[in-house]
């Protein structure tokens, strides 16, 4: 599965590099994550520790393709209580962590290319690394990792700032399907960042 994903990403990069007018861009964004499904059951707090990096090359005037790399850290502190896991019952404060690192081959459709405000819709296909850890005191009572097959629908807009830099706003729904001992992990992210244009 990982080989297929990396071959797909390579093909996207090759197509993008041969793209429309040789234009491309790199964007860097701050990401806020909101867990859903099983991830929300485990950690209900929003993630304010996140980032994403993207590369896009234009295939046509309206379509760009490339790769995304993200990272969101979800964290929650549970009150002093007695927690049961399997045959064990432990009392104390519980600290929960979940790291989500998605990697996607992505394509975007630009609705108003050349305009100062250019909304778009996009889709990504790839993988997501998840690490879930539960600590009590000095002890880690659960530590699970998995590589998920993942998808990412996205909407957003690029706002022209100057010839070299634009602003980018986006909303993504990232889903990593069940893998190993971890069920489906999904979250919604809001992203605010900068686009560095290359000609």
Instruction: Provide the b/e sequence for 119-144 (b: ≥16 CB within 10 Å).
Output: ebebebbbbbbbebebbbeeeebeee
Question: How high is the pLDDT of residue 137?
Answer: 77
pLDDT tens digit string along 173-199? 999 999 999 999 999 999 999 999 987
For residue 27 the two structure tokens come to 């964007």
Question: How high is the pLDDT of residue 10?
Answer: 54
Question: What mean pLDDT, rounded, does the chain reach?
Answer: 88
How many domains are there within the chain? 1
Q: Which residues pair with 153 in a beta bridge?
A: 123
Where are the strands (E) in the chain, listed by range? Answer: 24-36, 49-58, 63-85, 88-110, 117-136, 139-160, 165-176, 185-198
How many Å apart are CA 176 and CA 146, to the nearest integer?
A: 10
Could you tell me the residue range of the domain that residue 146 belongs to? 2-198
Comparison of pLDDT for 90 and 18, the residue scoring more: 90
DSSP track, 5-48? HHHHHHHHHHHHHT-GGG-EEEEEEEEEEEEEHHHHHH--SPB-
CATH of the domain at 165: 2.40.160.20
């Amino acid at each position: 599965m990982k080989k297929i994903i990396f071959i797909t990403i390579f093909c996207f990069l090759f197509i993008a590099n041969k793209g429309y007018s040789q234009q491309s861009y790199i964007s860097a964004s701050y990401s806020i994550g909101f867990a859903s499904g099983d991830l929300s059951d485990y950690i209900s707090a929003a993630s304010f520790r996140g980032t994403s990096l993207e590369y896009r090359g234009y295939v046509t005037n309206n379509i760009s393709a490339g790769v995304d790399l993200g990272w969101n850290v979800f964290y929650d502190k549970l009150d002093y209580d007695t927690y049961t896991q399997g045959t064990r019952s432990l009392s104390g404060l519980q600290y929960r962590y979940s790291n989500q690192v998605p990697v996607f081959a992505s394509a975007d459709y630009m609705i108003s290319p050349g305009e100062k405000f250019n909304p778009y819709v996009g889709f990504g296909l790839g993988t997501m690394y998840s690490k879930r850890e539960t600590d009590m005191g000095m002890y880690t009572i659960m530590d699970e990792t998995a590589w998920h097959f993942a998808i990412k629908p996205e909407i957003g807009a690029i706002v022209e700032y100057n010839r070299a830099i634009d602003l980018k706003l986006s909303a993504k729904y990232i889903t990593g399907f069940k893998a190993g001992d971890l069920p489906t992990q999904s979250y919604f992210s809001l992203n605010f960042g900068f686009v560095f244009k290359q000609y």
